[in-house]
Chain A
Amino acid sequence: MGNFTLSDVSLTVGQGEYLVLVGPTGTGKTVLLETIAGLHHPCSGQIFLKGINITHMPAEKRHLGVVYQDYALFPHLTVFDNIAFGLKLKKKGPREISGTVSKMAQFLDIQTILKRRPRLLSGGERQRVALARALVLDPHMLLLDEPLSALDRMTRDRLRGELKRIHSELGVSILHITHDLGEAFFLADRLLVMKNGAIIQEGNPEETLKRPKDRFVAELLGIENFIPARLGGGGQLFLEGLGPGDPPVFPASPAETEKEIFLAVPNWAIQLFPGKNNGDIYLAMFPMTITGLDRAQGHMKIHLKHAEGEQLRTTLSWREMNELPTNLELGQEIPVGLNRKGIHWVPAES
């Protein structure tokens, strides 16, 4: 592994829980997963499974199922033999193996491809076979290493639903690694954020998105707008590049001493053509100029610039675009409001 190390990693997966681990490439997610599976031996720390210390237990005795991004199906075996691999190692009889494999194949709708070799399967079929191979042994936990990354969008969406079904019907605990936020939010009971070999935040997806610990977490979770600001000792908030704003209403108590911060502003918290600021809906309101309009499937990304230099991005669906009082054009100056509810502050230094 060269100079890479897992450092501050402590996590617990509850019985039947779906835990999703997100983080950028190279941060140690796969190393962590393989360490849990017993494929790497930690220099320090311990791993417990159902109360038993398995830190030094060989991988083949841990009873954990692993599914890799590229499925790692055995190319010299048929689909049936791939799924039956673990059962044969347990010296199950041929009839029992056949019955168990057929049952799992039916559960995952791959009963028609049992005689094929992996190289003749589609990406979605390979993924189902990899899942079947792991699940057929009734593992204590399923470890999924970016299982859907290599698939096209349609297949990915379909298999995402499959994973949710597997989880709800079998009740198996799952640790799922991904860098796809949509996948993470769709599947996770709990979300973990990893950076440089350490877990830096955990919580349920909504709470983690609302209260990112720092700019890194906020960016990872898809927040694009970070407004530099100064939180004053008296609760005053000065937004650099946008002018002064009212003190934000944050669930956490405001800083007692003056500090440099960023306001992490999700796209949806940027309101175009906001109404009157009744009941303190908006943290701040100001005019901004449209500097870019990017069309995408089903939505439009709008780039905005303030006279004092700050730039923001927001996304509107076609429906929301149609509900605006006017069409948007490049160079147009429009009123913009920052909705308090979506905004959280993060320290300026990470």
Chain B
Amino acid sequence: MRSFLGRRSFKAVFFTLSALLLILIAVPLIRMIASADPATLFTTMAEQEVISSICLTLRSAFWATIACLVLGIPLAYLLARTDFPGKSLVQGLVDLPVMIPHTAAGIALLMVFGRSFFVGKALGTIGLDFVGTEAGISLAMAYVSIPFLVNAARDGFLGVDPKLERVARTLGASPRQAFFRISLPLAWRSILSGAIMMWARGISEFGAVIILAYHPMTAPILIWERFQAYGLKYAKPVAVLLILICLIIFAILRWLAEPRKET
């Protein structure tokens, strides 16, 4: 016991366990990318179906994130700044989409926004259809990944000292001005981080999207369909391409969200 709790042993055990987890994450990706045939990859990149699918996936996730920024930031701010009855219930509701199976989430969305339900019917009359459309894809992506954005934004606002907002008020700022000039600028890195996570999670969404909109096919659904129909050999290039594109965009956005050191 004494040797286990000794400084060197303690660190060694932690490093070993951490390394195992990192290997678990990295090895399948490295293996897949390393085993990809460049010629096949380039051929796949030129396929219109693949390009459209990847663009659709990135675009749908992007619009889902934008829409949830508009709706989620106010909610995050309220959760950070106000106490109200049922607040823990609201927080639980925000976290719920992470916990429910995503195919179940897709069915739940279909039951509300599908053409047989009054909400879906009403929206359909103004040209907003969520079944088998890009809007439906964005909706499904948004539903399952909103907790990442709201929680990150909430934590960002919690990190802003409320005293700064109070001082801003005494200097003549209305609550709206204090929010836009103080709270939001100071929380933007956390919000961006949350948005990146939400966007990334939306891209990878399969279960909810396939229920609401099998077509047009997002990249995850295309990969699955090719795997089912033609096997690993034909699914792998699309998977590798999607991973590489996501890694590059993800790295750039994470770099943007990192705080800069000032001299």
Residues of A in contact with B (beta carbons under 8 Å apart):
34, 37-39, 58-60, 62, 64-66, 68, 70, 72, 74-76, 85-86, 89-90, 117, 119-120, 133-134, 137
The answer to the question of B228 belonging to the interface, with a C-beta cut-off of 8 Å to chain A, is no
Q: Which residues of A contact B186 (CB under 8 A)?
A: 75-76
A68 and B163 contact, CB distance less than 8 A: yes
- The 7 residue pairs across chains A and B that have the minimum distance between CB atoms: A86-B171, A59-B169, A66-B170, A89-B172, A72-B167, A72-B163, A86-B172
CA distance A117 to B170 in the complex (A): 21
B174 and A60 contact, CB distance less than 8 A: yes
The answer to the question of B166 belonging to the interface, with a C-beta cut-off of 8 Å to chain A, is yes
**Chain B residues bordering chain A, tally (CB within 8 A):** 18
Partner of B171, one of A38, A76, A137: A137
16 A-B pairs in the complex with CB atoms less than 8 angstroms apart: A38-B169, A39-B166, A60-B169, A60-B170, A60-B171, A62-B170, A64-B170, A66-B167, A68-B167, A72-B167, A85-B168, A86-B172, A89-B172, A117-B262, A120-B262, A134-B170
Q: Which residues of A contact B182 (CB under 8 A)?
A: 74
A58 and B172 contact, CB distance less than 8 A: no
Residues of B in contact with A (beta carbons under 8 Å apart):
161, 163-164, 166-174, 177, 181-182, 185-186, 262
**Closest B residue to A70 using CB positions:** B163
Q: How far is the CB of B55 from chain A (nearest CB, A)?
A: 36
Q: Which residues of B contact A89 (CB under 8 A)?
A: 171-173, 177
A60 and B185 contact, CB distance less than 8 A: no
CA distance A37 to B174 in the complex (A): 14
Q: Which residues of B contact A137 (CB under 8 A)?
A: 171-172
Q: How far is the CB of A340 from chain B (nearest CB, A)?
A: 48
Q: Which residues of A contact B167 (CB under 8 A)?
A: 66, 68, 72, 74
Residue from the set A37, A72, A134 with the largest chain B CB neighbour count within 10 Å: A72
Partner of B174, one of A39, A58, A62: A58
Q: Which residues of A contact B177 (CB under 8 A)?
A: 60, 89
A76 and B173 contact, CB distance less than 8 A: no
Q: How far is the CB of B251 from chain A (nearest CB, A)?
A: 25
Q: Which residues of B contact A74 (CB under 8 A)?
A: 164, 167-168, 182
Q: Which residues of A contact B185 (CB under 8 A)?
A: 76
CA distance A134 to B167 in the complex (A): 9
Q: Which residues of A contact B164 (CB under 8 A)?
A: 72, 74
**Closest A residue to B263 using CB positions:** A120
A37 and B172 contact, CB distance less than 8 A: no
B170 and A37 contact, CB distance less than 8 A: yes
Q: How far is the CB of B173 from chain A (nearest CB, A)?
A: 6
**Closest B residue to A39 using CB positions:** B166
A39 and B171 contact, CB distance less than 8 A: no
B169 and A72 contact, CB distance less than 8 A: no
Residue from the set B167, B170, B174, B262 with the largest chain A CB neighbour count within 10 Å: B170
Residue from the set A38, A64, A68, A137 with the largest chain B CB neighbour count within 10 Å: A68
CA distance A86 to B167 in the complex (A): 10
Known: A75-B186, A76-B185, A117-B262. A65 touches B163 (CB 8 A): no
CA distance A7 to B186 in the complex (A): 36
Residue from the set B166, B167, B181, B185 with the largest chain A CB neighbour count within 10 Å: B167
CA distance A134 to B170 in the complex (A): 9
Partner of B166, one of A34, A75, A120, A134: A34
Q: Which residues of B contact A37 (CB under 8 A)?
A: 166, 170
Q: Which residues of B contact A62 (CB under 8 A)?
A: 170
Q: How far is the CB of A201 from chain B (nearest CB, A)?
A: 28
CA distance A38 to B171 in the complex (A): 12
CA distance A66 to B173 in the complex (A): 13
Q: How far is the CB of B194 from chain A (nearest CB, A)?
A: 19
A133 and B171 contact, CB distance less than 8 A: yes
Q: How far is the CB of A4 from chain B (nearest CB, A)?
A: 15
Q: Which residues of A contact B262 (CB under 8 A)?
A: 117, 119-120
Known A-B contacts: A39-B166, A62-B170, A90-B172. Give 17 more (CB < 8 A).
Answer: A37-B166, A38-B169, A59-B166, A59-B170, A60-B171, A60-B173, A60-B177, A66-B166, A68-B163, A72-B166, A74-B167, A74-B168, A75-B186, A85-B173, A86-B172, A119-B262, A134-B170
